[in-house]
Structure formats: C-alpha cells, structure tokens
Amino acid sequence: MTGSRPVLAVTPGEPAGIGPEILLRFHRDHPDFRIVAVADPVLLEQAASDFRPAPVIRPWRPGDDWEEGVLSCLPVPLESASQPGRLEPANAGYVLETLRRAVDLVQVGHASALVTGPVHKGIINDGGFAFSGHTEFLADLAGVDQVVMMLAAPGLRVALATTHIPLLAVSETLTSKRLEAVIRITERELRQRFGIRRPRLQILGLNPHAGEGGHLGNEEIETITPCIRKLVAEGMDLKGPVPADTAFHPPRLKRCDAVVAMYHDQGLPVLKHMGFGRSVNITLGLPFIRTSVDHGTALDLAGKGLADAGSLYHAALAAEELVASQQDREDAAPGA
C-alpha cells in the first residue's frame, strides 16, 4: 500500500513502559504506514535518543499533510517528567487524555482507526481515575453500553464474556443478558467487519468439564446453555457449552470462526501461546475501529532498547485490513 493507506491514530500508552519505544521502532521499520502519534513529543524525543539515525518527529494538527518517513505527532503534554521503568501516578491523566484526543480524531474523520499501546491499569487507578481497562474506557467515550474484547492470532480468535475482573466475580457477572449481548456483538461484527457470511462460534463452559451435568457447577445449566439455545433458535451457528480443556484441539478450531471464553485467563493463555507477538486485541461493538497490542507495559524492558514492536505492527496491519473491509462494504452498498 502507498498513499492510499488510511491514517491511524496511535497512542503509546503508559509513558514509563515500552510503548514510546515500540512506537518509534514500528515507525522506523515501517515508514510507509500513515500514523499520527498522540503523545508528548518530548517523551518521544527522549525515547528516540538512542536511535540511529534519529527519527524526525514533527508536530501535527488536523488538516496537516502527511510525509513518509516523518513521525507526525499530535502533542499532548505529560503532567510530570517520565523515566523508563518508573511509574508516576501524576501521568494517569495524560494517558487518558491521549486516548480522548485519539478517539476525537477518529470520530471526526481525521483518522480512520485507533491503535493503542499498553497501559498500566493499576497506576491509572492510583492516579485517582476509576479505570478497569482500555476496552471499558473506550466504550464510555463512545457512549456504548456493551463492547467485546476479542484477541486474534493466526488461526484463532477469542472473544471474552467478562474481561478485567477478579476470578471470584466472574460467576455473578456472567448473567444471561451479558452473555447474550457478547455473543450477538461477536457474531454481528464477524459478519460486518470481517466479512464472514455465517460465523461459527464455539461457546465455552465456565466450569471444568462444562459443569459435568451440574456436578461441578450450575452456570452451564442456568445461564450458558439456555442462552445458546435461544440464539441457535434464531439461526446462529453456535456450539457449546464446550469444555475449555478440549475446545482448542485443532480439529475443533477448524470448525469455528471464534471462541467465546467466559473469563480472561480461560482463553487468552492458549491464544498467546499460539501467537504471542503476532496477536492483536480488537474491540468489537464500538462505532469505530480499534486495535491494540497483545502485551503489557513491560516496565523491566523500558529504556533498554530490547522491546519488540511486532505486536504493534500486527495491530496496525489489522486496523488497515478492517478499514479496507469497511470501505469495500460501503462501496458495494446500493447507491454507492
């Protein structure tokens, strides 16, 4: 792709983590991507001090031209000086402001998609902001009641019925209403954004052996199975509840387009084992395209020149593919 590439708004996330470095490394290795960094340019200059040759970072405003090889940066100032590996609660507001500004760019059409680097949820809360994760924060910004966190790697997509909550809270959070909404959004987005005509979803059970007929838990009987039956009766292609310990057997995965896991660590360890560094976090149900890296802030690597930008590259590539798919659908619509 060349000049037709879409503009991507990119937030590097936690300033003390590897986000600034992987953004610069991605820009250096793939200068043909049209990205706008939404960040403090001083922070990026500091992170670029060991790069040879030094990247050219240029302040950018909506309406400015894009120049290949130059990193355009929509300036958002840090609240406090940042050092690699050292968290600073005072910068929590800065992290959230970069997200707000980036979402604004996408919503008004100055960028086609949002790509996010890793944030540190704990330090944002320590900074005085109630924050359970990117996914939930973006849903609030967009005014959407329900979104779905889905990670995708070559050969596997995993959508989550619950996200960043304690394991103890999963059962009470996993209501029929919530599970139905997650399945509906996942099925709809696979059709509308990914172009899968009739998505096949594999729905996991919550308990070992999918509850074993109620002997190991009642969530399958009371919540998961009735939800599946209701949606199958409407015409959806759903299988389950499937025991999580057999759901990721390759022959099963070949017969489905996505797996719906009941909680964060039920499905994501398998996905990251299969595709760490190549997997992408995609938020389903937003009125705009958002992708993200599949890893955290890696404070122990920050400032050492060791961070791998592979996941950010794949997140940007996935965002471009989703933008292209959206454009194809709009071009094919009646009257287009």
Give pLDDT, residue 98.
97
| Whether pLDDT at 3 is above 60 | no
Q: According to the 3-state scheme, what is the secondary structure of the chain? A: CCCCCCEEEEECCCCCCCHHHHHHHHHHHCCCCEEEEEECHHHHHHHCCCCCCCCEEEECCCCCCCCCCEEEEEECCCCCCCECCECCHHHHHHHHHHHHHHHHHHHCCCCCEEEECCCCHHHHHHCCCCCCCHHHHHHHHHCCCCCEEEEEECCEEEEECCCCCCHHHHHHHCCHHHHHHHHHHHHHHHHHCCCCCCCEEEEECCCHHHHHHHCCCCHHHHHHHHHHHHHHHCCCEEEEEECHHHHCCHHHHHCCCEEEECCHHHHHHHHHHHHCCCCEEEEECCCCCEEECCCCCCCCCCCCCCCCCHHHHHHHHHHHHHHHHHHHHHHHCCCC
Task: Please report the domains of the chain, with CATH numbers, ordered by start residue.
Answer: 1-144+286-336 (3.40.718.10), 146-280 (3.40.718.10)
Global pTM reads 0.90
pLDDT tens digits for 127-139?
A: 898 888 888 899 9
| Whether pLDDT at 264 is above 80 | yes
| Whether pLDDT at 203 is above 60 | yes
Which of 36-40, 128-132, 141-145, 209-213 has the weakest average pLDDT? 128-132
Average pLDDT estimate for 206-225? 95
pLDDT band at 336 (very low <50, low <70, confident <90, very high): low
| Whether pLDDT at 185 is above 70 | yes
CB of 174 closer than 8 Å to CB of 165: no
Phi then psi dihedrals of residue 48, to 5 deg: -90, 0
